[in-house]
Amino acid sequence: ETGVTQTPRHLVMGMTNKKSLKCEQHLGHNAMYWYKQSAKKPLELMFVYNFKEQTENNSVPSRFSPECPNSSHLFLHLHTLQPEDSALYLCASSPPLSGETPGELFFGEGSRLTVL
Amino acid sequence: DAKTTQPPSMDCAEGRAANLPCNHSTISGNEYVYWYRQIHSQGPQYIIHGLKNNETNEMASLIITEDRKSSTLILPHATLRDTAVYYCIVRVARPTTDSWGKLQFGAGTQVVVTP
């Protein structure tokens, strides 16, 4: 138990569906992240939020839409995805991105997405 | 952030020390060395980090060379549960608005601990 909870753990969707991934952290952190891990590829950073403000969008297609309503919750809204978007989507949180020492990231277990 | 180079895989006998090397020859003076691991189908787990001095915690030890161009993660008594992909990452210490200290993962080292 890392203090970062992701739901659902598994999701199967068609290319025309709209779904959302949810992440919740109970660690009092103020930075949250979405990473994508495709089969046999390194983790790719997608989005970073610091104090609810998006600070990084790593050239992610617009069919992925993040939302951070508060420092404890992060969503990834999905629409009109492609089969190549099938992957493990990982959420992480950390202390705020400020100060002298970057805090370690705490990851959730991930949401495994399959796009048919 | 500086790039890192790790061997793609290594085996280790249960109960022995596992020494995982990492090269980061372009590391800057303000960059930390971080180690994470990812057990199959789980999220990555933080292990340890350091700047210049060697560090030890309940999971592992981190040895950083004097020139900081390489480091070694040591798992003192490897167990079967230590089988995972281990990532060595360098990360800027003082994030700016252009570099929010984000972690960039490489391919890592697949460590297999055998009985």
One-character DSSP codes across A31-89 = EEEEEEE-TTS--EEEEEEETTEEEEE-S--TTEEEEEEETTEEEEEEES--GGG-EEE
Searching chain A, which residue's CA lies closest to the CA of residue B34?
Answer: A104
- Is the pLDDT at B100 greater than 70, yes or no? no
What's the pLDDT score for residue B98? 47
Residue of B nearest to A6 (CA): B43
Question: Is residue B80 helix, strand or coil?
Answer: helix
Please return the burial class of A22, using the count of CB atoms within 10 Å of its CB with bins 0-12, 13-18 and 19+.
middle
| pLDDT in the model for residue B84 | 97
pLDDT score of A98 more than 80:
no
Residue B86 has pLDDT above 60, yes or no: yes
Q: Is the pLDDT of residue A58 over 90?
A: no
What mean pLDDT is predicted for residues A21-45? 92
What residues in B contact A105, CB-CB < 8 Å? 36, 44, 46, 103
pLDDT grade, residue B97 (50/70/90)? very low
Instruction: Tokens for A79, please give them.
Output: 């629409």
In chain B, pLDDT over 90 holds for what percent of residues?
A: 72
What pLDDT was estimated at residue B104? 77
Q: What would the mean pLDDT of B87-111 be, rounded to a whole number?
A: 74
pLDDT at residue B48 above 90? Answer: yes
Distance between CA atoms of B54 and A63, rounded to whole angstroms? 44
Higher pLDDT, B102 or A68: A68
Look at residue A51 in the predicted model and tell me its pLDDT.
85
Instruction: Provide φ and ψ at A51, rounded to 5°.
Output: 50, 50
> Does the distance separating the beta carbons of B95 and A97 come in below 8 Å?
yes
pLDDT, residue B93, reads 60
Q: CB distance A105–B46 less than 8 Å? A: yes
Per-residue confidence (pLDDT) for residue A42, from 0 to 100: 85
Task: Quote the DSSP letter at residue B67.
Answer: T
Q: Over 50: is that where the pLDDT of A36 sits?
A: yes
A64-91: average pLDDT: 95
Give the pair of three-digit tokens for residue B98. Answer: 């252009």
d(CA B86, CA A67): 30
Phi-psi region of A28 (alpha: psi -120 to 50; beta: other; left: phi over 0): left
Residues of A with Cβ-Cβ distance to B107 under 8 angstroms: 42
Average pLDDT, chain A: 90
Q: What is the mean pLDDT of residues A59-69?
A: 94
